[in-house]
Structure formats: C-alpha cells, structure tokens
Structure 1
Amino acid sequence: MFIIELIKAIILGIVEGLTEFAPVSSTGHQILVDDMWLKSKAFLGSESAFTFKVVIQLGSILAAAWIFRSRYIEMLHIKQNEQKQHHLKLSHIIVGLVPAGILGLLFDDFIEKHLFSVPTVLIGLLLGAIYMIAADKFSKNVTNPHTVDGMNYPKAFVIGLSQAIALWPGFSRSGSTISTGVFLKLDHKAASDFTFIMAVPIMFAASAKALLGNLQYITLSQIPFYIVGFVASFIFGLISIKIFLKLINRVKLVPFAIYRIILVIIIGVLYFGFGIGQNIG
C-alpha cells in the first residue's frame, strides 16, 4: 500500500511539473488526475492533501527560477554582464506584480470559498481557451513583434492585470498573461519569458504563505510523499518549461487552447454525466 501511495505522489508531482507553467491550467489537471482519480485526500487527509499540493507547486516554481536564474541575477545587479545588457528590469516585474498582488490579498478568501468548484474551473478553462485563440488570430497581423527586452511599464502593468484575471481557477495564469502579451505585440516567446519571470516571485510568496500556515498537518510518515512529489515536480517542471519555450514561437497558443477545450469536455462528461467527483468544491 505504501508503494502504491508513493507512486500516486510521484504522478501528482509529474502532473504539477508538466502543467503549472503551460497554458493548460494546472487546476483543471489536478481535478481530473487527483480529485477524480488518485484522490490524495484518501491517503494524506484533507488538510495534508492541500499542503502536499503546495509543496509540489514549490517544486515547479523552483524549476522556473532555475531556468531564469541569469535574468534574476542581472535584474538584482548581483552580476553584471557587459556583453549582454538586458532592458528588462526588476521594476518591470514589480509593476506587473502589483495588480495580482493587491487583488489576490483582497479576494483570496472569496476565491477559495466560492470559485474552487468543477463548474467554475470549466468556465475558466473554456474562456481562457477562447482568449488564447483570439490572441493567436491577432498575432497574424503583427509584422514586427517585440522581444522581452522591449518591455515597458504600461505593458508590464497590463500583463500583470491579466494575471489577476487568472485568479479565477482554470483560466490559467500563463494562458492569460501570454495571450495578453501577444495582444501587446510581444512575440509568443517574449510573452512567455515575461510571464514565467513575473510568476515566480508571486507564486513563491503565495505558496510559502500557504505552506507556513499548514505546517502542522505534515506528519513524519508523510515526509516521503512530500519529497518524491517535490522532486518529480521540479524535474518535470524543468523539462516542460524548456520544451515549451523552445516550441512556443512555432506552435503558438491554438494547440493548447484546443487541448483545454477537450479537457473541458472530458471533465464535464465525468462530472455531470457520471457524477464522478461531485463532492469536489
């Protein structure tokens, strides 16, 4: 039984790593894989299952931080590279963080109590997919899209505002911010870079706050689950982000939007048609 539950923890870590920064909604995948199939609450307990998800999310956040470590070092002026001076500044990141930070603090309790349900996640998945398709259609008329070093404060603020929209579960932080960046005439890779760089500090702060508030639910016997889940999330987060950044300018957002629509259909059929997981939310 222990080995089976350990495998479940690894699978959940893999799912988190693969989906946290892709524009497909990690929340939607958690519902499909965990709440409807693996049911971590059964072997960890309700509060511990939530804490476990926070821990594996930290694994994917660390993966993104590692990939963009040189950017953070340069923005913090820890190490200056005279041959590679970037125009993206720490102040751009701060401006982008303001809208989501403020709205997250104001509405965090409301979101957790009223929006974390299967129907609301399905709405977020579908609306996010439509927004991504619209962004790709718009990008076809942009002749000279900007790189991430073409970032300015108005663009950073608007992208940050769209990150606040993603507080609606299922909408997807990366899906909304990348799409908004494309609407602001950034190329897909540039919008993705800024999205991931901006996401790390706010996600780390939110996850650290949640973890500190739930440390009492971690027991010694559960430590192996947390470790393997965290490691799996970190490793597959590295793989997912690297592949995504290499392909995004080529494949654009539509394939991910189509995938999201398929996910909506699958979750909708399982939830409304077969009643699987109707105790969720």
Structure 2
Amino acid sequence: MLDVHRLTISLILGIVEGLTEFLPISSTGHMMLVESIAHYMDDSEKTFAVIIQLGAILSITIMFWNRLYSMGIICIKKIFVKQHYDKNHLCIRHILLGTFPGVILGLIFYEEIRLIFGLTYIMYGLIIGGIFLLIGELCLLKGPRVSDIDNITYVQSFLIGCFQCLAFWPGFSRAGATIGGGLLVGLNRRISSEFSFFLAIPIIFGSVVLTLYHCGSSISAMDALLLVGGSIVAFVIALLTVKCFLKIVQNISLVPFAIYRFLLAGGIYWGLIT
C-alpha cells in the first residue's frame, strides 16, 4: 500500500533537490534539513537523498547535450582516428581532471563521509561555504577573467576539481565549491557556473552508483517507485532553475547567495540546534 507520508516527503525532496542542486547553497544541506524537520531521517532516507540527484543530473545532460555530444565526438576522433583538434576547446580531459580529485577522496573516505551528516555539520558548512563565495567575488575585482568555456586550461580544471572536494563536508555545497573555485582560478561567474554543471554529471553519477552498490539491496519496490517520482520532480525543477540561474549570474554577484547561507545557518542554530 502506498505510504502517503513517504510519497509527500519524496516529492518535497524532489522539489528541494531541483531548486538547490546547481545553486551555491547546498542541496544536501537543504534535504537533510527537510528530513530533520519532518522527523524522517534514517539510513534509507540518506540513501534516497543521494539517488534522487539523478533527476537533476538528467536535466543538465539534456540542457547541454550539444556541448556534451561535441566533447564525445572530439574524444572518439582523438582516440580512434588520431585526428588533431584545437586545444582551445573544452574536452572530456578537462572534465576528467576536474573529477579526479573528488573520485579519489570519495573512494578513500566513503564511510567517514557518510558519518558527518548532521545539522551542526551543515550549519558550519553553510557558513564556511558562504565565506568562500565572498572570497571568490573579491577575486573578480583583480582583472580580466576567462569569459569563454573553451579557454579553460587543464590546470584550472584540476584546481576546480580540488576545490570540489570541499563539498564532501555537508552544507558546503558542491556548486558553491566549484563556482567559487572557478572564480578563484580566473573564470567569470557564468563560465564558472557552466563548468560546475559539467563537473556535476560524473561526480554525482559516481556518487549515486557507489551508494547503490553499498545500499541498493535494501531498496524495495515501493522505494524505487518513490525514487522515480522524486527524480522526475527534481528533473523538471532543476531544468527551470538552471536556466534562471545562468541569466542571474551574468548581472548579479554571488553575495545574495552567501547572505542566504548565513541566514539559513543562523536559523538552523537557533531553531533546531539550541
């Protein structure tokens, strides 16, 4: 029999995931916050919070399909046809370099990372991540920035990947770490955001696969149905959110997002911790 309460929670988490996954405000922190308020936070729900990200990732894949397809063709030609291509072109190698640090750290510390989920951790992650965004904004004042995603260097890709590792701390935000990291290494807001979206595909997909490997056997048929429903909601909301966000960051700084993080951290402290 369908559990209406669990269905409601899954749809709410889908909305929260879609709204927050690609914004620098921490999707995991928001989902853990919702689950805590709803008194619905055991190991199976933590697993749900990870797997439901597939819906959001699908939205990015569809939105940037032409670019992803182009990157794939370049890679195939390079390997099998030995065809040279313009080095000033974003390719899969950039994504791999940006993904590598997170994959290694995630595999080594998988169990330890799962143990640090909690409101106190999220609160500190929100604060530190907010400060990180402000530092990134200050770097924008230093001069010319990379304004074309095809001009990102391999070194910049790797450094952004290193910054992405900060997101293993709940509340810090993967998007916040990569977008802020992009600003620190010389990208403008829009290019930092777009590259952050590309990095999200392998790192989150890998996280989902790893979670399924460890916990997939505990997912029932009803759980799977709820996951599909939540993922569909996350897909639709994320599609709309990303389109709006890319327009916003061209004209507005990340300061409002940092302020929101500080306010949310304060709300968590006074409303749920003390």
TM-score, structure 1 normalization: 0.87
Are the equivalent residues in 2 in contact too, given 1:132–1:179 (CA < 8 A)?
Answer: yes
Partner of 1:221: 222
Q: Which stretch has the larger CA shift, 189-198 or 6-15? A: 6-15
Residue 9 (structure 1) shift: 1.6
1:121-136 alignment runs, 5 A limit: 121-136=122-137
Are the equivalent residues in 2 in contact too, given 1:6–1:224 (CA < 8 A)?
Answer: no
- Work out the CA distance in 1 between the residues paired with 2:179 and 2:50: 24
1:68 aligns with 2:70: no
List per-residue Cα deviations over 1:72-114 (Å, max 9, x = no partner): 111110799xxxx87111111111111111111112222222x
Q: Which stretch has the larger CA shift, 213-222 or 185-194? A: 213-222
1:71-90 alignment runs, 5 A limit: 71-77=67-73, 87-90=89-92
Partner of 1:39: 39
- Work out the CA distance in 2 between the residues paired with 1:238 and 1:146: 23
List per-residue Cα deviations over 1:113-169 (Å, max 9, x = no partner): 2x2222222111101100101111221332444321111111111101101122111
- Work out the CA distance in 1 between the residues paired with 2:51 and 2:113: 20
Residue 272 (structure 1) shift: 2.3
Identity score, percent: 36
1:175-254 alignment runs, 5 A limit: 175-254=176-255
- Work out the CA distance in 1 between the residues paired with 2:48 and 2:32: 15
Gaps of 5+ in 1: 274-281
Secondary structure in structure 2 of the residue aligned to 1:129:
helix
Instruction: Give 2:112's match in structure 1, choosing from 110, 119, 125.
Output: 110
Instruction: Describe the shift of the 1:228–1:213 C-alpha distance in structure 2 as closer, same or farther (beyond 3 A).
Output: same
- Work out the CA distance in 1 between the residues paired with 2:5 and 2:99: 40
- Work out the CA distance in 2 between the residues paired with 1:47 and 1:201: 24
Secondary structure in structure 2 of the residue aligned to 1:233:
helix
Partner of 1:52: 48
Q: Which stretch has the larger CA shift, 208-217 or 182-191? A: 208-217
Task: Give the RMSD, CA atoms, in angstroms.
Answer: 2.0
Are the equivalent residues in 2 in contact too, given 1:22–1:175 (CA < 8 A)?
Answer: yes
1:13 aligns with 2:9: no
Aligned length: 263
Amino acid in the other structure paired with 2:95: I
Partner of 1:96: 98
Residue 255 (structure 1) shift: 0.8
Are the equivalent residues in 2 in contact too, given 1:17–1:240 (CA < 8 A)?
Answer: yes
- Work out the CA distance in 2 between the residues paired with 1:9 and 1:40: 11
Gaps of 5+ in 2: 78-85
Q: Which stretch has the larger CA shift, 134-143 or 260-269? A: 134-143
TM-score, structure 2 normalization: 0.89
Instruction: Describe the shift of the 1:55–1:111 C-alpha distance in structure 2 as closer, same or farther (beyond 3 A).
Output: closer
Amino acid in the other structure paired with 1:55: I
- Work out the CA distance in 2 between the residues paired with 1:170 and 1:87: 33
Are the equivalent residues in 2 in contact too, given 1:166–1:176 (CA < 8 A)?
Answer: yes
